[in-house]
Amino acid sequence: MQYNTISVKATREYDICIGRGILAGIGDMISPILGKCRLAVLTDSNVDALYGSTMMEYLASAGYDACKYVIPAGEASKCAENLLAFLTFLAQEQLTRSDAVVAFGGGVVGDLGGLSASLYLRGVKYIQVPTTLLAAVDSSVGGKTAIDIPAGKNLVGSFYQPSLVCCDTALMDSLPSDIYRDGCAEVIKYGMILDARLYDTLHTIPFDREAVVARCIEIKRDVVQQDEFDNGVRGLLNFGHTFGHAIEKLSDFGVSHGEAVAKGMVIAARIAPLCGLCDVADELSALLLQYGFDITCGYSANEIYNALLSDKKRRGGNISVILPRAIGECVLYDMPVEELKGLLQKVM
Ligand code: GLY
């Protein structure tokens, strides 16, 4: 089976395999890493209905004894109750330290599965099998795991790298267009922050999925290798996210992550010239509109400001925002939160 492999050197070294239809070979990818072991597959109700039995057959035909746990699809499942329920399932199934978790789904499953693997028996291995574009290019790579708690999204989590990522791009064929588009916002983000050539290719819609996914993963790999624990350059991956998270929160998560990131990137691009950086807001807005994003913010500067005061990226009285210096080059810009309030009032 032909696939592209990208290797990551972090606290754990692992490969990311990318290709169309490669799920059929998942057993052959897992066995050199884990050998003979039991596998607990975590998935959601949507993925299970489409691909659950196929996955279990592929694992069984490769000689793996696997059990499956299904959570309801949706962000609400990324919660403490499901974390505890899945950990209890792992214990009931008597998984041992030499066994592993397979997170088969989008970002919710990947984050919950990864966190569970980092906690169960103080850490068992896990494999990411992303099924959405967003999970493929972002959440399945780099080892951030989390659940949401009532006080905020992703507030409880760990850095815990997977042992393998198996990214079968054919699984994305069945995604509803709005879910696929959510991933496109992250793809555009990669072009904006670090790769003008990638950005240019995105004007051709639809883009070459395998090539674009591989390039985004390469960019993320390079960033994670420099700053695995998110103390510096990894912050660039949050371009559009500081404002995006505020919009998600204000909408009570009615605005999807990708839609919110698209809006957030436009706000950041509008702020950039006020900080002496370039003005790419019109160019970026035009591309986002081509993808069908609604880039109107829908909230006032004060509402956004108040919502982002609880952002994880805030340190003391300062907040780090990511601003474009050019298409393909963003910078981290630290400023007092009060200054950001004034800038928001000017651009909105
Ligand atoms: N999703 C941003 C990061 O992995 O750092």
Same-domain check for residues 15 and 142 = yes
Count the domains in the chain: 2
User: Would you state the pLDDT for residue 172?
Assistant: 98
Average pLDDT over residues 152-163: 94
Same-domain check for residues 322 and 190 = yes
Same-domain check for residues 145 and 188 = no
Residue after which a domain boundary falls, among 174, 209, 235: 174
- Which residue's CA is minimally distant from atom 3 of ligand 1? 237
What percent of the chain has a predicted confidence (pLDDT) above 90? 93
1: confidence class by pLDDT, cuts 50, 70, 90:
confident
What is the chain's mean pLDDT, rounded? 96
Average pLDDT over residues 101-125: 98
Task: State which ligand 1 atom lies nearest to the alpha carbon of 144.
Answer: 4
What's the N-to-C CA distance of the chain in angstroms?
51
Same-domain check for residues 237 and 89 = no
Residue after which a domain boundary falls, among 174, 206, 224: 174
> Which tokens sit at 65?
């004894």
CATH of the domain at 57: 3.40.50.1970
Q: What are 180-232's pLDDT values in tens digits? A: 999 999 999 999 999 999 999 999 999 999 999 999 999 999 999 999 999 99
Same-domain check for residues 195 and 280 = yes
Q: What are 39-96's pLDDT values in tens digits? A: 999 999 999 999 999 999 999 999 999 999 999 999 999 999 999 999 999 999 999 9
Same-domain check for residues 128 and 228 = no
Same-domain check for residues 42 and 191 = no
What is the C-alpha to C-alpha distance for residues 10 and 228, in angstroms, rounded to an integer?
7
Same-domain check for residues 55 and 130 = yes
175 Cβ neighbours under 8 A, 6+ residues apart = 131, 132, 133
- Structural domain containing residue 117: 4-174
Residue after which a domain boundary falls, among 159, 174, 189: 174
Same-domain check for residues 167 and 208 = no
What is the C-alpha to C-alpha distance for residues 79 and 315, in angstroms, rounded to an integer?
26
Average pLDDT over residues 271-293: 98
CA distances from 226 to 7, 16, 118, 161, 274 (A): 14, 17, 22, 15, 29
What percent of the chain has a predicted confidence (pLDDT) above 70? 99
24 three-class SS: helix
User: Would you state the pLDDT for residue 311?
Assistant: 64
10: nearest Cα among 144, 191, 139, 133: 144
CA R_g for the chain: 20
> Which tokens sit at 29?
């990818």
Q: What are 82-106's pLDDT values in tens digits? A: 999 999 999 999 999 999 999 999 9
What is the C-alpha to C-alpha distance for residues 242 and 104, in angstroms, rounded to an integer?
28
Q: What's the gap in Å between 244 CA and the centre of ligand 1? A: 14
pTM value > 0.85:
yes
What is the C-alpha to C-alpha distance for residues 180 and 133, in angstroms, rounded to an integer?
6
75: nearest Cα among 162, 128, 139: 139
Same-domain check for residues 240 and 333 = yes
Task: State which ligand 1 atom lies nearest to the alpha carbon of 235.
Answer: 5
3-state SS, 32-87, equals HHHCCCEEEEEEEHHHHHHHHHHHHHHHHHCCCEEEEEEECCCHHHCCHHHHHHHH
CA distances from 30 to 143, 173, 295 (A): 18, 24, 41
243 Cβ neighbours under 8 A, 6+ residues apart = 260, 263, 264, 267, 268, 304, 308
Counting DSSP H helices and E strands in the chain, the numbers are 14, 12
Average pLDDT over residues 28-34: 96
Same-domain check for residues 159 and 187 = no
Among 154, 238, 242, 320, name the best residue to mutate to test ligand 1's pocket (greatest count of ligand atoms within 8 A of Cβ): 238
Among 187, 228, 230, 322, name the best residue to mutate to test ligand 1's pocket (greatest count of ligand atoms within 8 A of Cβ): 230
CATH of the domain at 275: 1.20.1090.10
Same-domain check for residues 220 and 319 = yes
